[in-house]
Structure 1
């Protein structure tokens, strides 16, 4: 069975461990493929390394597991206090098509703006736990991401 067919049936965790099991040459080739995909949908290219992919895959897997077990996502910090939802949001830019990524950012911004309207006393706490100082930081990130 071709790997691109198999990947459609693997879980995020299985893809993470499959990537971990590969040698450095294969991992480097995968990273170069992500670099090429990024360049296809963005104005400016960015080199994506296998080390970055290791970290991105792990964070995606960890946050996905938090969601799957009905835990609160906004305040999750898997393995390290510095790993936040906003770090994951920034990671997704490197492995997601630009159009879909910008749509995702717009939906996230909408959720935070609505939360700010509904419970204004807690938006600062929620943003802080997510790794944002405030909603403006996300909006600045969106503007930056549009230019890339």
Structure 2
């Protein structure tokens, strides 16, 4: 186990690795309020020196001129990115929950229809997934039935819980599985709504497919978890990115840019948000990037955008 170090010892350690500390008092305040591990270990990599073979120097050393302020700026930029992205992921989450609950309930009107195997896909490969989904839905009802909640109210007064009430207690991960387990007919109804909105906003002749929505849901769930748990976002990348062939055609963005990066997630949101919301998202990101563009000297802001997966002409690709 590494030995405990006071804030001043942590600063001394950073100085010994050639990191410039312009203001000792400010450095203390940063470490006191944000934690050495979160700031330094989380965001130092772009500022570390490399040898002739482009490997990180051992022992660790910072690039000439690198400052603690720069590392902290990257830390605060990432925090603002999380807050922005989470806002629009939640808008999508509300949208997909509303569409799934509406079309499923309209098709299957019996009480607790979502707990019945017969109301889901007949694809044998999805059977285990469907059974797991039904179990989780039942667990949510059971768990919240013990609390003073709308679920308890509906059970006490109506003997059943409508899906449009239950979805408010389900994670985006569960909703992602719910969508995959739906029959193709219901998936198509949901896609038709997104297609209609996308055509209205952008005049596209391409239809939104069920695979595309499944991919957006998978990405949104993973990125939402990063935001909600305050993990590092700017260089987060999905290990197994959803297939993006159709999304590439729909968005007019080369497929290699839809590779599981932050840019991919932002681009995917264009498919499922209204034009007004997506335009606000892009404008907010543009303003944020402008604010931070001049705060780095050891590295360029373009390097940070590259880590995010944003191409140089990212505004052109997201054209709104």
TM over 0.5: yes
Matches within 5 A, 1:39-118: 39-40=199-200, 42-45=201-204, 46-80=206-240, 82-118=259-295
In the alignment, the residues of structure 2 paired with residue 76 and residue 50 of structure 1 have an alpha-carbon distance, to the nearest angstrom, of 25
Determine if contact 1:109/1:138 at 8 Å carries over to the other structure. no
In the alignment, the residues of structure 2 paired with residue 5 and residue 38 of structure 1 have an alpha-carbon distance, to the nearest angstrom, of 27
Name the SS of the counterpart of 2:317 in structure 1: helix
In the alignment, the residues of structure 2 paired with residue 69 and residue 122 of structure 1 have an alpha-carbon distance, to the nearest angstrom, of 28
Please identify, of 107-116 and 97-106, the stretch whose mean Cα deviation from structure 2 is larger: 107-116
Aligned residue for 2:6?
none
Q: Which has the higher contact order (CA 8 A, sep 6+)?
A: 1
Q: Does 1:140 align with 2:316?
A: yes
Aligned residue for 2:186?
26
Identify, as 1 or 2, the structure richer in helix.
1
Return the TM-score normalized by structure 1: 0.83
Aligned residue for 1:10?
170
Aligned residue for 2:17?
none
Deviation at 1:22, TM superposition (A): 0.9
Deviation at 1:56, TM superposition (A): 0.5
Aligned residue for 2:301?
123
Name the SS of the counterpart of 1:26 in structure 2: helix
Greater C-alpha radius of gyration: 2
Return the TM-score normalized by structure 2: 0.41
Residue segments in structure 1 that go unaligned for 5+ positions in a row: none
Instruction: Output the aligned Cα RMSD.
Output: 2.0
Residue segments in structure 2 that go unaligned for 5+ positions in a row: 1-160, 242-258
Deviation at 1:8, TM superposition (A): 4.1
Determine if contact 1:28/1:49 at 8 Å carries over to the other structure. yes
In the alignment, the residues of structure 2 paired with residue 5 and residue 32 of structure 1 have an alpha-carbon distance, to the nearest angstrom, of 23
Deviations 1:74-112 (A, max 9, x none): 100012472111111110001001001101100011111
Aligned residue for 2:156?
none
Change over 3 Å in CA distance of 1:123–1:76 after alignment to 2: same
